[in-house]
Amino acid sequence: MNTLLLVEDEPKTGGMLKQALESEDIEVIWAKNGKSALDQMENGKFDIVILDLKLPEMSGVEVLEGIRSVDKYVEVMIYSNYQEPPVMKKLINIGIEGYITKGADADLWNTVEMVKARLN
């Protein structure tokens, strides 16, 4: 079974995505802020991380840097509903494997399929 770390502070969004991923036999650990995500990274091994960019206290970039300092090779997919080119450029330089859009284009099952494709 694959294990995924979901970093998302919005309760309903995180809850729905967790349920959908679990229905496809992916184990989901859900961190609601950057600090807790980094704690999880220290203590567990993940096949993939889904990282929301707008988090309380720590920014997505800071969390990504933290994740990369613990695990250089884990797959990280950015999860956001807006993309600022300078931020994206920075994230790509630190190292990300993909981008999932939220907001007006949000598609739950498509997201699940994207995650499954990366895991295979």
Partner 1 sequence: MNKVENLSHKEIDAKIFHIKHSENVAEAVALIKALYSELEHQKQKAALSELTLGISHELGQPITNIRYTVQYYRKLFEKTISVDLVSKIFDSILEETERMGRLIKRLAPLTSRQSIIEPYNLMNIIQNRVKAESIRLQNLKIQVKISPSTPIYIVGDAVKFEQLISNLLFNAIDAISEKKLREDNQIYIQVKDKDDEIKMTFKDTGIGIAAKDKIFEPFFSSKLPGKGEGLGLFIVWNILKMQGGKIRLDTRYKDGASFLITIPKTKSETKETL
Look at residue 78 and give its three-state secondary structure: strand
Which of 58, 61, 88, 106: binder of partner 1 (CB under 8 A)? Answer: 106
* Interaction of residue 92 with partner 1, rule CB under 8 A: no
Please spell the DSSP secondary structure of 34-64, one letter per residue: HHHHHHHHHH---SEEEEES--SSS-HHHHH
**Which one, 9 or 71, has the nearer CB to partner 1?**
9
How many residues bind partner 1, per CB under 8 A? 22
User: What distance in Å separates the CA atoms of residue 57 and residue 34, rounded to the nearest whole number?
Assistant: 8
Within the chain, how many helices (H) and strands (E) appear? 5, 5
* Interaction of residue 39 with partner 1, rule CB under 8 A: no
User: What distance in Å separates the CA atoms of residue 106 and residue 6, rounded to the nearest whole number?
Assistant: 16
Which of 2, 33, 36, 59: binder of partner 1 (CB under 8 A)? Answer: 33
Which of 16-24, 42-50, 65-73, 90-98 is the region at the interface with partner 1 (rule: CB under 8 A)? 16-24
Q: Name the minimum Å distance from CB 38 to partner 1.
A: 16
Look at residue 82 and give its three-state secondary structure: coil
* Interaction of residue 24 with partner 1, rule CB under 8 A: no
Look up tokens 């995505």; give the residue: 17
* Interaction of residue 47 with partner 1, rule CB under 8 A: no
Residues that bind partner 1 (CB under 8 A): 9-10, 12-13, 16-17, 19-20, 33, 54, 56-57, 81-82, 84, 102-104, 106-109
